């Protein structure tokens, strides 16, 4: 009688394998999240990003509609957050939630 080369894995082994792969996937996604962001805001752009909370301050760049601005501290007219890889200020009225 010819024996099969590979045996069928037991349901317990398959369950543990799927559980381990799921835990790995969840941990990978968790590590990839932006740790700095308390919550995400989106630009209703184009939205100027300033070095300081002042309209006369140098402009770092412009967020286009749908770009993410990681808001850390909303305060009055300007919101402090991360855009273009740096911490900067954006006019609060130009940000909108897309929840």
Residues 46-71 pLDDT 10s: 999 999 998 999 999 999 988 888 88
- Is 81 part of any domain? yes
Q: How far is CA 13 from the centre of its chain?
A: 35
In a domain, 5, yes or no: no
Domain containing residue 57: CATH number: 2.30.30.40
Exposure string for 9-25, b = 16+ CB within 10 A, e = fewer:
eeeeeeeeeeeeeeeee
Round to whole Å and give the CA distance between 34 and 41.
13
pTM summary value:
0.57
Q: Is residue 52 part of a domain?
A: yes
- Which residues 6+ apart lie within 8 Å of 80 measured at CB? 53, 71, 72, 73, 74, 87, 88, 89
Q: Quick check: is 12 in a domain?
A: no
Higher pLDDT, 72 or 11: 11
Q: Is residue 66 part of a domain?
A: yes
Give the pLDDT of residue 99.
42
- Residue 55 within a domain: yes
Work out how many domains the chain is built from and give that number.
Answer: 1
Residue 8 forms part of a structural domain: no
Mean pLDDT, rounded, of the chain: 81
Provide the 10 A C-beta neighbour count for residue 89.
23
Q: Is residue 2 part of a domain?
A: no
């Amino acid at each position: 009688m010819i024996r099969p080369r590979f045996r069928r894995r037991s349901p317990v082994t398959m369950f543990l394998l799927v559980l381990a792969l799921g835990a790995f996937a969840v941990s990978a996604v968790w590590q990839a999240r932006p740790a700095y962001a308390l919550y995400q805001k989106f630009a209703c752009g184009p939205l100027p990003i300033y070095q300081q909370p002042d309209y006369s301050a140098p402009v770092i760049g412009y967020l286009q509609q749908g770009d993410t601005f990681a808001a850390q501290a909303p305060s009055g007219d300007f919101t402090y957050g991360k855009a273009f890889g740096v911490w900067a200020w954006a006019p609060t009225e130009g940000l909108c939630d897309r929840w």
